Structure 1
Amino acid sequence: MPSEFTVFLVADAMLAKGERPSLRRVREAIPTGGSPREVCKHLRAWRKKRGYNPKLEPTDMSKAMKEAGQALAMDLWKQAKREATQTFAREREAAATMAADDKHDREHLIGMVETLQAENAALAARAKAAEDEGVRVQARLAKVENQLDRFRAEEFWDRVMQEIAELLVERGPLTPTEILSELRAVTLRGATLHKEPLTPGTLKKMDVRVFHGRYFEPRDEGRYARKAG
């Protein structure tokens, strides 16, 4: 598709030779041809810019007038060519400057992206390390809390066994059910806090002391007595 610049050059050249730059002749003179619509659009622009009116073109001009007209057309064509060349040079220089600026901006943005990516990776690594450390701390804390709960439970049951031992010294041998009814209310509430309510079944923990020879000894009919000594 011919550009406006090409159509202007062809029309100026025809006018310089004394030829009438009609649509058909201009299209034939363009090596690549072009659609009549596009060529006609550019030719109308050329006529407007050059002030050319084919109806006013004289047909009986003298040779001197024709030569003067041809010379004027040639000068106009050369001037248009110079202006087009200068415009092209300026546009090419501006395009080169813009391309250089774009390249610089692109390299700067790439550098910023790479820096941000590195910082993000470092932050992600630190966050992962902090998360892992948090998991380890939580695990250690849970272990310590479990140990603390176990120590508290052992301490509580030691107090319960001491209370039972004192009760057996006072009342003599008793069954777990009888022992349970004699325990203090605060002891019963304490067992609930340790998630192991006192029942005749849980009082069978006394058998552990019996096995180790501590506090109690078994008697007939499921009773327990305070171990002597």
Structure 2
Amino acid sequence: MPSEFTVFLVADRLLANGERPSLRKVREAIPTGGSPREVCKHLRAWRKKRSYDPKLEPTDMTKGMKEKGQALAMELWKQAKREATQAFARERAAAEADAADENQDREHLLGMIETLQAENVALLARAEAAEAGSGRVQARLAKVEYQLDRFRAEEFRDRVMQEIAELLAERGPLTPTEILPELRAATLRGATLHKEPLTAGTLKKKMDVRVFHGRYFEPQDEGRYARKAS
């Protein structure tokens, strides 16, 4: 189907050659032919734009008039080609500008994506480092807490031994079984808090350790312990 531009070019060329741009001649000059209806529509538009009326076309023209007419038609045809070329150039420039803008936008978006990916990796690394650091802190806290518990338990047991030493100084040599009911209620409750309930066996074990180190007690007959002389 021929375009309006094609029909205009053919009609201008026919007119420039001194031929009447009729529907038949225009269709014959178009390589693809085209439907009479479409060609006629474009030809009517050409006649209107060129102010061409076949009824007013002189049948007997001098050579000079024909040459002037041909020159005018050729100039109109060249002008139409220039306008078409300029329009094509403008459309091409606009398309290239749009493509450049799209490329810029795409590059900008790709840059944003790469930046976000890098930030995400950095955040993950920091989170992992923080988690590892938190684990180390928790381990250190647990170790310190364990050491404090041991220190408190040792300090409590030493106070119990001092209490027993004072009791032996007043009552004389006693066995662990005899010592246990004489301890203060607060001492028994404190032993429960330290998760080491006081029993006769526990007292004997702790007192033997002091004996070994020469502190607080001296062993006596029949499993009794006396206060070590200072």
TM-score band, normalised by shorter chain: 0.5 to 0.7
CA distance in 2, matches of 1:130, 1:9: 72
Cα 1:30–1:161 shift into 2, 3 Å: farther
Change (3 A) 1:147 1:51: farther
Unaligned runs of 5+ in 2: 15-20
**Does structure 1 conserve the Cα–Cα contact (< 8 Å) formed by 2:174 and 2:225?**
yes
> How far 1:106 moved relative to its partner?
3.9
Return closer, same or farther for 1:64/1:138 CA change in 2, 3 Å cut-off: farther
Q: Give me the TM-score of the superposition, normalised by structure 1.
A: 0.63
Secondary structure of 2:3's counterpart equals helix
Q: Is the 8 A contact 1:209 1:216 kept in 2?
A: no
- In 1, Cα distance between equivalents of 2:137 and 2:108: 43
Q: Which amino acid aligns with 2:32?
A: I
Among residues 14, 30, 33, which one is paired with 2:32 in the alignment?
30
Larger-gyration structure (1/2): 2
Partner amino acid for 1:30?
Answer: T
Distance 1:147 1:118 in 2: 43
Q: SS in structure 1 opposite 2:195?
A: coil
In the alignment, structure 1 residue 137 sits paired with structure 2 residue 117: no
Stretches of structure 1 lacking an aligned partner (at least 5 in a row) = none
Residues 121-146 of structure 1 deviation map (CA, whole Å, 9 limit, x = unaligned):
44544444343333222222221121
Return the match for 2:5 from 2, 9, 12: 9
Give me the whole-angstrom Cα distance separating, in 2, the residues matched to 1:205 and 1:175: 6
The reply to whether residue 173 of structure 1 matches residue 174 of structure 2 is yes
SS of aligned partner of 1:173: coil
Offset of 1:160 from its aligned partner? 1.3
Counterpart of 2:18 in structure 1 is none
Aligned to 1:195, what secondary structure does the other structure show? coil
In the aligned structure 1, how far is the partner of 2:40 from the partner of 2:142? 89
Q: Is the 8 A contact 2:211 2:218 kept in 1?
A: yes
Answer yes or no: is the 8 Å Cα contact 1:161–1:206 preserved in 2.
no
CA 21–162 in structure 1, closer or farther in 2 if over 3 Å, else same: farther
Question: For the residues of structure 2 that align with 1:72 and 1:49, how far apart are their CA atoms?
Answer: 18
Q: Give yes or no for the alignment of 1:182 onto 2:182.
A: yes
Rate the CA distance shift 1:116–1:15 in 2: closer, same or farther, 3 A: same
SS in 1 for 2:180: helix
> Could you tell me how far 1:90 is from its partner in structure 2?
0.9
Percent of pairs identical after alignment? 50
Q: Is the contact between residue 153 and residue 194 of structure 1 (CA under 8 Å) also seen in structure 2?
A: yes
3-state SS in 1 of match to 2:211: coil
Cα pair 1:12 1:74 within 8 Å, conserved: no
- Aligned counterpart, 1:207: 205
Output aligned runs, 1:49-198, within 5 Å.
50=46, 63=59, 78-171=78-171, 172-176=173-177, 178-196=178-196, 198=197
Q: Compute the displacement of 1:110 (Å).
A: 4.0
1:73-129 deviation per Cα after TM superposition (whole angstroms, max 9, x unaligned) = 876655443322111101212222333344344444444544454455445444443
* Maintained 8 Å contact 1:210/1:216: no
Name the structure 1 match of 2:23.
20
Aligned length: 207
Cα distance between partner residues in 2 of 1:123 and 1:106: 25
Task: State the alpha-carbon separation in 2 of the partners of residues 187 and 117 from structure 1.
Answer: 63
Whole-Å separation in 1 of the counterparts to 2:195 and 2:139:
22
Q: Distance in 2 between matches of 1:64 and 1:157?
A: 141
